[in-house]
Structure 1
Amino acid sequence: MSSARATSSTEQVLAKAAEISGVDLHGAQVIRDGSNAIYRLAHDMVARIGQPGCLEAAERELRISQWLNNSGIPTVEAMSALRQPVVVADRPVTWWRLIPDHRPSTPAEMGAMLSALHALPPPTELQLPAYDPFTGLHERLVTAAMIDEDDRTWLLSHHTELRTQYDALPEAFSLSVIHGDAWQGNLVVPSSGVPTVLDLDKVSIGRREWDLIQLAVDYTDFSRVSGQDYRAFVEAYGGYDVTSWPGFRVLADIQELRWVGFAIARSPDSPRAAAQAKHRIACLRGQVARPWRWDAL
């Protein structure tokens, strides 16, 4: 956990939610404490604790899971027999089936899933929001206490320039259902061999290119994906290479600024994140040559 305070807060929320729903907390283990706190529980179950004020988003995630599974895209499943979401201290708690013994997807598996997802017509039973890659980013940069004023001024100017470039992109021929955070850890493969979609909080309507950006920059800017694996990703997606799209660099730069914002947001409770944020800022400012190495947080 990122701090004793965070541990206490999420554990208290989880304990109350479990009491309301009749869930066994014996042996509960933290899986992740990021934007959402995620716990592994007994009886092959997972608890997901959202941010304050996010009840509507949690309700939407439950409905998205059901819709995607019904649409033929294997997705993490909610525990349908339990009352949810449960709200404790304004934080929604949802209960999910554990996907045990899984690995991250390969680039080819990710490309195939995104091809199927982007081909789906938008659901009629729920309304998906329009995706905005800048959501919350400006506030993170303005309020960050760990960055000096020179870096803050540069980051805010960079943010403004990217917002202008993004708004000037040609209108998309068509918008798609997108995952919104399509990295290989959000499509996992259990022992059954069936790739399964995770983390549904950013599923929305947007440019399909946004879902292709993360793996593309892993190839172009970080060399975390080999040329062979990137070509397999493109082929599995249907042959469309987002790096050849004229707006590629704009979306790539926005994604990388978002990753800087994520490190900044975690910095108050983590010296490691603070050091990583400074390194990432130096990269964006051209002080470190590509390919970059950014540690996972």
Structure 2
Amino acid sequence: MSTQPVDAPYRTALVDACRQAGLDYDGARLLRVHANAIYHLPRENAVARVRNASALERMRIAVQTAAWLAEQGFPTLRPLDVIQPVVVGTHLATFWEYLPPLDGRPADVTHLAGLLRVLHRHPLPPLPLPSIRPVGSTAAEARASTVLSESERDWLVERCVELEEGFARLAATLPWGIVHGDAHTNNLLPHHEGGWVLIDWDSVGVGPPAYDFMPIYLRPRRFGYPHSLWHDFCTAYGIEPVKDGDLNLLAQIREVRSLSAFIRGAEHNPAARTELLNRLSSLMTEDSTRRWHAL
């Protein structure tokens, strides 16, 4: 028996969004589907990102911030010069320049640290940039989930409240600036003119720069990377490696926030569902040694 492609709802929205934006979707190729669906539009040399329309305001801020940073000379992926985001029913789409992989060059934490150092020292943009949401939409995603059990849902919502309160107390003691909000090496792309650009501004806001350190800080702790990775990042950024206790709350916040994309993906992706339950059970049982897996 045939099954519907995993990206079927996204592709339908993509076609409608491209028509509204006046873009050619012929030959559109799915690159990835997880928290959103990403397509290459070869006729436009562009990428389309399709996701739930509930993120409209965040996507509007993401597009505006990336466009402004690009004008300032910051190495960022540029949004296309079309009116966007484009809303189609329960989905929305944003459109960006396409940068293909070059010679298989891998990004490493030193490239990321260099870009973050510049970003965190950058003046704030002349647009209303919100304060970062420490755990993002995790609580809302949990409440709406049909995958989580009632006990899992209740635990996660309560945990989000605890972490938000803890973050408010901690953030009052730290300096603030532009924060990317999801800073890891998978959000770097090589530019054809050399160097790297930072992509995926969905979570951009103002907040403590240390919040952006967490994806790298957690790699040894959760993903089995060597501990030297964190030291390499700190050296490239220009700070001394911070002791675990000083970053523990931010690390816990990042762990919980990471569940959000998996909650959305679990509705249609068995691999996302498996990893969601793996991560959530490790948090609920306080198992800090459990290995996590990226999708």
User: Normalising TM by the smaller chain, what interval?
Assistant: 0.7 to 0.9
Query: Distance between the aligned counterparts of 1:280 and 1:55, measured in 2?
Result: 28
- Tell me the equivalent position of 1:271: 270
Instruction: Using the TM superposition, give the Cα deviation of residue 177 of structure 1 relative to its aligned residue in structure 2, in angstroms.
Output: 0.2
CA 1:259–1:94 in structure 2 vs 1: closer, same or farther (change >3 Å)?
Answer: closer
Give the SS at the match of 1:47.
strand
Range with bigger deviation, 62-71 or 197-206:
62-71
- Tell me the equivalent position of 2:99: 99
Give the SS at the match of 2:170.
coil
What are the Cα deviations for residues 173-224 of structure 1, in whole angstroms up to 9, with x where unaligned? 4211010010111122245431101111111111111100110011234332
Query: Distance between the aligned counterparts of 2:64 and 2:80, measured in 1?
Result: 12
Question: Is the 1:172–1:207 Cα contact (8 Å) retained in structure 2?
Answer: no
Give the SS at the match of 2:52.
coil
Question: Is the 1:15–1:25 Cα contact (8 Å) retained in structure 2?
Answer: yes
Output the amino acid matched with 2:258: W
Range with bigger deviation, 56-65 or 232-241:
56-65
Identity of aligned residues (%): 28
What are the Cα deviations for residues 203-248 of structure 1, in whole angstroms up to 9, with x where unaligned? 1111111100110011234332x233322210111124344562x1
Output the amino acid matched with 1:10: Y
Uncovered stretches (5+) of structure 1, i.e. residues with no partner: none
Range with bigger deviation, 250-259 or 267-276:
267-276
- Tell me the equivalent position of 1:52: 53
Instruction: Using the TM superposition, give the Cα deviation of residue 114 of structure 1 relative to its aligned residue in structure 2, in angstroms.
Output: 0.6
Query: Distance between the aligned counterparts of 1:85 and 1:150, measured in 2?
Result: 36
The normalised TM-score by structure 1 is: 0.86
- Tell me the equivalent position of 1:123: 125
What are the Cα deviations for residues 4-31 of structure 1, in whole angstroms up to 9, with x where unaligned? 3863332222222222333222211112
- Tell me the equivalent position of 2:113: 111
Question: Is the 2:35–2:265 Cα contact (8 Å) retained in structure 1?
Answer: no
**Which runs of structure 2 are paired with 1:251-270 in the superposition (5 Å)?**
251-270=250-269
- Tell me the equivalent position of 1:241: 241
Query: Distance between the aligned counterparts of 2:63 and 2:51, measured in 1?
Result: 13
Query: 273, 276, 291: which is aligned to 1:293?
Result: 291
Output the amino acid matched with 2:10: T
CA 1:77–1:153 in structure 2 vs 1: closer, same or farther (change >3 Å)?
Answer: closer
- Backbone CA RMSD of aligned residues: 2.6
- Tell me the equivalent position of 1:215: 216
Query: Distance between the aligned counterparts of 2:57 and 2:152, measured in 1?
Result: 35
Uncovered stretches (5+) of structure 2, i.e. residues with no partner: none
- Tell me the equivalent position of 2:189: 188
Question: Is the 1:51–1:92 Cα contact (8 Å) retained in structure 2?
Answer: yes
Question: Is the 1:175–1:207 Cα contact (8 Å) retained in structure 2?
Answer: yes
Query: Distance between the aligned counterparts of 1:93 and 1:264, measured in 2?
Result: 20
